[in-house]
Amino acid sequence: MEKYIITLPEEIRSLIPDFMQNRKKELEWLQNALLKEDYEKIIGIAHASKGVLGSFGFTKAYRIAEKTESYARMKNKKGVEKSVSDLSFNLNQTEIHYKDDLG
């Protein structure tokens, strides 16, 4: 199965367990909002999520969250479904490595 390997600075290692847990919560919120076709809520969650994903260095997941936000703005249900599923897959398949001198 496809794996996404990302390398993060050692100094943020201790933040990652909570970070991943919070992203999983956001995924649940996205899925619930999608069931209700609440696009405003999806925009809000995806927007917040993309900022934090990108800042932590989860570039691929950041791009997927960005797509989720765009599809939600267009009220494109299929697009949102696909991108939320991609985001879930990406986060589940991400393997994190740490390195000291990444800054």
Q: Closest approach of Cβ 1 to another protein, in Å?
A: 27
67 lies in the site for another protein, by CB under 8 A: no
Q: Closest approach of Cβ 29 to another protein, in Å?
A: 14
Closest CA to 69 of 33, 24, 100: 33
Decide: helix, strand or coil at residue 95: strand
Q: Closest approach of Cβ 11 to another protein, in Å?
A: 6
Q: If you ran DSSP here, which 8-state letter would residue 91 be given? A: H
Among 53, 64, 72, 80, which residue sits at the site for another protein (rule: CB under 8 A)? 53
Identity of residue 12: I
